[in-house]
Structure 1
Amino acid sequence: MKTTEQQFLNNLEKKLWTSADKLRSTLDAAQYKHTVLGLVFLKYVSDSFDIRRDELTEQFKNEDHEYFLDPEEFDGADGDEYAEAIAEELEERDYYTEVNVFWVPKQSRWEFLQNQNKVVITGELEVSEGGSSGGKTKKIRSVGQLIDNALEAIEHDNPKLKGVLNKRYTQLQIDQSKLGELIDLIATVPFKHDSLDSKDILGHVYEYFLGQFALAEGKKGGQFYTPKSIVSLIVQMLEPFKGRVYDPAMGSGGFFVQSEHFISAHKGRIGDVSIYGQEYNHTTWQLAAMNMAIRGIDFNFGKEPANTYTNDQHPDLRADFVMANPPFNMKEWDTGISDDDPRWQYGRPPSGNANFAWLQHMLYHLAPNGSMGLLLANGSMSSNTNNEGTIRKALIENDLVECMVALPGQLFTNTQIPACIWFLTKNKNERTNSRGRKLRNRKGEVLFIDARNLGFMKDRVLRDFSAEDLTRVTETYHNWQTGESYEDEAGFCKSADFEALRKHDFVLTPGRYVGAAAEEDDGEPFAEKMARLTGQLKEQFAESDRLEIEIKKNLLGLGYEL
């Protein structure tokens, strides 16, 4: 991204968050998240509608365009009849849906909300029920009802959004004038830039807010948000260029968004990828659907929010790419789950920890040539309790594990539990992947990458990966897959065979395999260095003892008894 573009977005972030945060005094972070993001979505679809409307207006007046309306058939280009004819044509729904723009009824357009949000506080407003279908009218008596009605009308006129939008503004325990202020605030978002279109700007705003709300909510925030750098790393390593992409614990859909970014960056077509997801939490499921709609990504999130284990929304799916960041070390996950469930091909996961249940669920839905990346707690790499060691051994013996990446700490907003990424595949044979990359035969090999020393502290709490860090890990993995320019690097990466894994009792912790990085030789023999350092330590101990005696003397002189 150009410096000017990044500066524009940074200024936009600061302005929005500082201003919006002032309105949060009467709502907790979870409520405020949906309040703001629902309006952001409404602003986006309204702006997209207006952009298409402006395009159509120009096309109706362009005699070289198929939509041209000849003013001579009316009362001339400056006449009322011609203006009315264009206005009538602009309200034809098909002109918008044909280019994948949501149809926005009049009472859902941002201009209408801005003009009416002050009116409803002092009086009453009547609008038609059921979107653009007309018929009955209803009275609007609050800003919250005004917003709910706008969302309801959009859902009614866009079946794809049925049940997706969070229509709870009427129920919010908040001063109605505050909602009016929020509408006016979001109206100031400048969705125009010389080299950024409105979709990119809005998508950035949406993603930024998700990250900020995750920080504000702490542990609960991690249920819907995975840090962008981790998502980017998994997506760049798997390269989901064509095929079916699945996330069984999708949160707000971060893996799908980054997949779209990856495809666009590599000149692919988002239409070559099919998106499948599942989420148990209803409001988070809605967030994900809005996240996809903002970007124009077609998706299948099942009929409803549901438990992945007991109500699999995609039972017959075999995906080419499976990516997930499920809850770490989830307990009591298996109520109502059969011991002989076909997903437990490599062993029955323990009731007290769902790590290997998530892993095997993903493997079950993986296509024969598919690849998957899964974030799990570090304990999954070494635990031998309650059948976990047996399952891990079976995965290795069936040659499903391709790469293990150990991550640095402090990457997550919601947990300090050390984490790792498992990369698995059902086919390590020589083949060409969806990007055209020729993969060598990797049977019997596992790549270990120790990335614990990578990254930088972006603030006092959170660590992040730089672009160079992401490139280093990604290129190491791809070079190992192809056999081009790959070399083991002490302290960072190691390609291990099955015998090495057996010697380590099938533990998959990268640190056991990559070893320690070589230290620079300073020319001082080891024995002499140890003698010198030992002497320095003795001197420091002696000085410490002397200072302790002096302190005690001074305290006694001041009348303190020791």
Structure 2
Amino acid sequence: MPLPNSEHMFLQKLDEQLWGSAQKLRQSLDAANYKHVVLTLIFIKFLCDQKEKLSFSFPDNFDWEAIKQYSDQELDDTLTVSSFLDSLLDNLEEENVDLRGVLNRFQTFEVVNSTLKGLINLFNDIDFNSFNNGIDAKDLLGHIYEYFLGEFAIAEGQKGGQYYTPKGVVSLIVEILKPLKGSIYDPAMGSGGFFISSDKFLEENNLSKDIKVFGQESNNTTRKLAVMNMLLHDLSFEFGKGAADTLKNDLFKGEKFNYIMANPPFNSKDWWSSKLSDDTRWIYGVPPKGNANYAWISHILSHLEDNGKAAIVLSNGAMTGTSKEEFAIKYGLITDNFLDCIISLPKQLFKNTQIGACIWILNKKKTRAETLFINAKDLGRMESKVFRVFDPEDISLVADAYWKWANDSGYKDVLGFCKSATLDDIEFHKYALVPGRYVGFNVQEVISEAAINLMFERINKVQGKLDQVVSMCKDTKNVLGEIKNG
């Protein structure tokens, strides 16, 4: 549900204040490094505020006021805020086995004292123990993380923000898969956003946490963010022994999962290795070596339980892939009846790329021999001049259409929005999977009433001119007849 105005205004003001001030303190630090400095420091503030309510064991000197007092001193090059914070984290990890190797160290990023002092003063204003307009402390931390990750995705651009998935897209996927129990796997997990949303889905529906999450991430510092998220939300997780490239080094080889959610990097070119030639994941053949989209599809399908479902965010190019390797994989998915649904997403949803995107739903327990196509390109609301958001009503519209279709309970094709397509329909379109080719378009929605009225007004004007020309021709003909007859 949408946030009440007071909560929305509180969070918006907090976002603008924190991000604006944090950016001023960034100086020459690279956004990809600064992100981890900022988020780890916010995490420390949360731990300090909430330590009486958390199950971790805290050292006596793990105190925010002590951190602030230390940073306020006149410090030289031998006494740094970074080393002080890192010593606190060392002590914290010493007393908590689950946290060992999880928290990023500040000295790694060579942050100067003035920057850290400014951030400590900035985050001093966040009180995770206060009422905060009724927002729970963990939800507030999650919101700040969500907002900062989105803003850092913009700052980093496509290279750094590959793992960031817009909140609306995450929520839509969770609503479509409805992970109730069993295992959830994300092979490109980033900071674990899909897992947190799945946890919230269980809480909002008063369901128990009968879920274990599995994930893999190639960036070690980002992987640490995911581990912190899991620990805070008390989720059972397995992320392998460390960071690793999923396609080149599958940490869960041979394992199967009930639900898979993924937003892998779009159109990755540098993914292939010669040792992958005979990989068992390539069920329908080796994917094209110059683009990883179909490698991700094949990887995910190979890890899906016989009763499992998956949702994959891919670039729009995946829907029309025409190479022989892509066609073979696409043909296998369709003829084996694993392709459940294709959803085209609006533009400008992603803060780190302008590439158009879609969602593929794979379903190993699918029974009906049709595929649902949903055109959601016109949904969403422009939050700014450049970015669009999916509101809860947009998510409900798409998810409700899917579940009515999946449950065969009152579903109807809607011109311009959704279409249940047969294999013959897909063959007719030569296996191109763009929803727009199947759903058609609603003339009444595409052409406004004002536009129709203007069109008829112009036609009437042209008709009037033509009537005048015809009349003039008749008059001229009459005059010429009179002259001829003398």
Give the TM-score normalised by the residue count of structure 2. 0.88
More deviation, 416-425/209-218:
209-218
What is residue 214 of structure 1 aligned with on the other side? 153
Q: Aligned match of 1:238 in 156, 174, 177?
A: 177
What is residue 340 of structure 1 aligned with on the other side? 278
Aligned partners of 1:242 and 1:273 also within 8 Å: yes
Aligned partners of 2:81 and 2:117 also within 8 Å: yes
Instruction: Quote the Cα distance in structure 2 between the aligned partners of 1:263 and 1:525.
Output: 48
Any residues of structure 2 matched to 1:164-243 within 5 Å, and which? 164-167=102-105, 169-191=106-128, 192-193=130-131, 195-243=134-182
Q: Aligned match of 1:267 in 200, 206, 217?
A: 206
Deviation at 1:331, TM superposition (A): 1.0
Q: Is 1:252 matched up with 2:152? A: no
Instruction: Quote the Cα distance in structure 1 between the aligned partners of 2:150 and 2:323.
Output: 35
Structure 1 residues 488 and 533, CA gap change in structure 2 (3 angstroms) = farther
Report the residue type matching 1:30 in the other structure.
A
Aligned partners of 1:384 and 1:390 also within 8 Å: no
What is residue 304 of structure 1 aligned with on the other side? 242
Q: Is 1:481 matched up with 2:419? A: no
Q: Aligned match of 2:266 in 315, 321, 328?
A: 328
Instruction: Quote the Cα distance in structure 2 between the aligned partners of 1:321 and 1:257.
Output: 14
Q: Is 1:375 matched up with 2:291? A: no
Instruction: Quote the Cα distance in structure 2 between the aligned partners of 1:501 and 1:478.
Output: 21
DSSP-derived class of the 2:258 partner: strand
Instruction: Quote the Cα distance in structure 2 between the aligned partners of 1:445 and 1:116.
Output: 65
Instruction: Quote the Cα distance in structure 1 between the aligned partners of 2:460 and 2:265.
Output: 47
Report the residue type matching 2:72 in the other structure.
K
Q: Aligned match of 2:87 in 132, 145, 149?
A: 149
Report the residue type matching 2:243 in the other structure.
P
Deviation at 1:488, TM superposition (A): 0.3
Instruction: Quote the Cα distance in structure 2 between the aligned partners of 1:323 and 1:534.
Output: 57
1:198-235, Cα deviation, whole Å (9 max, x unpaired): 22222221222111111221223422311111111111
Q: Is 1:276 matched up with 2:188? A: no
Structure 1 residues 7 and 235, CA gap change in structure 2 (3 angstroms) = same
DSSP-derived class of the 1:4 partner: helix
1:453-505, Cα deviation, whole Å (9 max, x unpaired): 11121111111112211110010001111111211000100001112112222
Any residues of structure 2 matched to 1:502-513 within 5 Å, and which? 502-513=427-438
Report the residue type matching 1:276 in the other structure.
F
1:52-90, Cα deviation, whole Å (9 max, x unpaired): 3xxxxxxxxxxxxxxxxxxxxxxxxxxxxxxxxxxxxxx
Aligned partners of 2:180 and 2:207 also within 8 Å: yes
Report the residue type matching 1:335 in the other structure.
S
Structure 1 residues 38 and 226, CA gap change in structure 2 (3 angstroms) = same
What is residue 415 of structure 1 aligned with on the other side? 353
Structure 1 residues 170 and 533, CA gap change in structure 2 (3 angstroms) = farther
Q: Aligned match of 1:464 in 389, 392, 402?
A: 389
What is residue 256 of structure 2 aligned with on the other side? 318
Report the residue type matching 2:112 in the other structure.
D
Deviation at 1:178, TM superposition (A): 2.7
Report the residue type matching 1:17 in the other structure.
W
What is residue 340 of structure 2 aligned with on the other side? 402
Instruction: Quote the Cα distance in structure 2 between the aligned partners of 1:222 and 1:411.
Output: 13
1:86-135, Cα deviation, whole Å (9 max, x unpaired): xxxxxxxxxxxxxx622221233323212322347169xxxxxxxxxxxx
What is residue 532 of structure 1 aligned with on the other side? 459
Instruction: Quote the Cα distance in structure 2 between the aligned partners of 1:248 and 1:534.
Output: 62
Q: Aligned match of 1:38 in 40, 48, 51?
A: 40
Structure 1 residues 508 and 524, CA gap change in structure 2 (3 angstroms) = closer
Aligned identity (percent) is 44
Aligned partners of 2:248 and 2:271 also within 8 Å: no
DSSP-derived class of the 1:121 partner: coil
Listed as ranges, the gaps of 5+ residues in structure 1 are: 53-99, 124-139, 430-441, 540-562
Instruction: Quote the Cα distance in structure 1 between the aligned partners of 2:277 and 2:451.
Output: 62
Report the residue type matching 2:169 in the other structure.
I
DSSP-derived class of the 1:508 partner: coil
Aligned partners of 1:247 and 1:322 also within 8 Å: yes
1:227-246, Cα deviation, whole Å (9 max, x unpaired): 11111111111111211111
Structure 1 residues 328 and 445, CA gap change in structure 2 (3 angstroms) = same
Structure 1 residues 368 and 12, CA gap change in structure 2 (3 angstroms) = same
DSSP-derived class of the 1:330 partner: coil
Q: Aligned match of 2:5 in 3, 6, 11?
A: 3
DSSP-derived class of the 1:264 partner: helix
Q: Aligned match of 1:492 in 405, 413, 417?
A: 417
Instruction: Quote the Cα distance in structure 1 between the aligned partners of 2:461 and 2:167.
Output: 46
Structure 1 residues 525 and 294, CA gap change in structure 2 (3 angstroms) = closer
Listed as ranges, the gaps of 5+ residues in structure 2 are: 467-486
Deviation at 1:46, TM superposition (A): 2.0
Instruction: Quote the Cα distance in structure 1 between the aligned partners of 2:388 and 2:139.
Output: 25
DSSP-derived class of the 2:398 partner: helix
Q: Is 1:428 matched up with 2:382? A: no
Structure 1 residues 120 and 38, CA gap change in structure 2 (3 angstroms) = farther
1:171-209, Cα deviation, whole Å (9 max, x unpaired): 544431331221122121022116323222222212221
1:322-368, Cα deviation, whole Å (9 max, x unpaired): 01011111113121433221110112101001111101111111111
Instruction: Quote the Cα distance in structure 2 between the aligned partners of 1:372 and 1:354.
Output: 17
Structure 1 residues 122 and 339, CA gap change in structure 2 (3 angstroms) = closer
DSSP-derived class of the 1:343 partner: coil
What is residue 476 of structure 2 aligned with on the other side? none
Structure 1 residues 313 and 7, CA gap change in structure 2 (3 angstroms) = same
What is residue 92 of structure 1 aligned with on the other side? none
Deviation at 1:531, TM superposition (A): 8.5
Aligned partners of 1:349 and 1:357 also within 8 Å: yes
What is residue 481 of structure 2 aligned with on the other side? none
Could you say which structure has the greater relative contact order, defined with CA pairs below 8 angstroms and 6 or more residues apart? 2
Instruction: Quote the Cα distance in structure 2 between the aligned partners of 1:534 and 1:285.
Output: 66
Instruction: Quote the Cα distance in structure 2 between the aligned partners of 1:523 and 1:116.
Output: 66
Deviation at 1:523, TM superposition (A): 13
More deviation, 39-48/329-338:
329-338
Instruction: Quote the Cα distance in structure 2 between the aligned partners of 1:277 and 1:120.
Output: 44
